[in-house]
């Protein structure tokens, strides 16, 4: 299972569009105040699991709370939890919580998002958020709650495979 976090915001919109040849594409773009939130989630070969959205950026305390209340309840014995090298991921308490659940914690090599299949899932999720153009925090969070369930096992297996992981 790969764990990572990504930002989402109330001003997300498409940056490209189409129109008839010779016509100028006109579309609105939100300027001014926006609200940025953070999505933390895990990706298994079967789908996205343990999603949590929080208001603002993540820090060590928030990540530890995520592990305690959201991640650990879905861990199974012998799971391998893989994360990037963010300092909040490397807290001793995070390792202890994961290992107490019977799972193993591993870290990706530094600066290696190409080895993290959840990055591909987040890319699709953000494209869908841009398409929806949700402008309120509650609407954004509700939409994220619906979108995390769209990731099918075959699609997730393809994300793992494209990152170089053997599917057997």
Is 124 in contact with 109 (CB distance < 8 Å)? no
* 96: helix, strand or coil: helix
Residues 6+ away with beta carbon under 8 Å from 115: 108, 109, 163, 164
**What integer pLDDT is reported at residue 14 of this predicted model?**
58
User: Domain ranges in the chain?
Assistant: 2-8+35-162
d(CA 151, CA 45): 10
Q: Which of 152, 146, 144 is nearest to 38 (CA)?
A: 144
Residue 42 CB contacts under 8 Å (≥ 6 apart), including other chains: 1, 2, 3, 48, 49, 50, 71, 74, 81, 118
Among residues 80, 92, 83, 71, which one has the least CA distance to residue 5?
83
107: phi then psi, degrees, rounded to nearest 5: -120, 145
Query: In this structure, what token pair is assigned to residue 138?
Result: 């509650």
Predicted pLDDT of residue 137 = 85
Each residue's pLDDT tens digit in the chain (168 positions)?
999 999 888 766 656 667 788 888 776 665 666 788 999 999 999 999 999 999 989 999 999 999 999 999 999 999 999 999 999 999 999 999 999 999 999 999 998 989 999 999 999 999 999 888 888 888 889 999 999 999 999 999 999 999 999 877
d(CA 66, CA 141): 16
Question: What's the confidence (pLDDT) of residue 166?
Answer: 87
Fold of 2-8+35-162: Nucleotidyltransferase; domain 5 (3.30.420)
Task: Provide the pLDDT for residue 23.
Answer: 85
């Amino acid at each position: 299972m790969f764990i990572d976090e990504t930002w989402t915001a109330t001003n997300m919109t498409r940056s490209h569009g189409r129109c008839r040849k010779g016509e100028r594409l006109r579309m609105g773009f939100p300027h001014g105040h926006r609200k940025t939130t953070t999505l933390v989630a895990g990706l298994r070969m079967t789908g996205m699991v343990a999603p949590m959205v929080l208001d603002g950026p993540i820090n060590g305390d928030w990540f530890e709370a995520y592990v305690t209340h959201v991640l650990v309840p879905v861990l199974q014995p012998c799971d391998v939890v893989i994360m990037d090298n963010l300092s909040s991921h490397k807290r001793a308490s995070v390792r202890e919580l994961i290992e107490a659940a019977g799972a193993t914690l591993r870290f990706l090599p530094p600066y290696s998002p190409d080895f993290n299949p959840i990055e591909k899932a987040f890319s699709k999720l953000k494209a869908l958020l841009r398409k929806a153009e949700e402008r309120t925090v509650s609407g954004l969070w509700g939409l994220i709650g619906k979108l995390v369930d769209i990731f099918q096992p075959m699609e997730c297996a393809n994300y793992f495979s494209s990152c170089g992981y053997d599917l057997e």
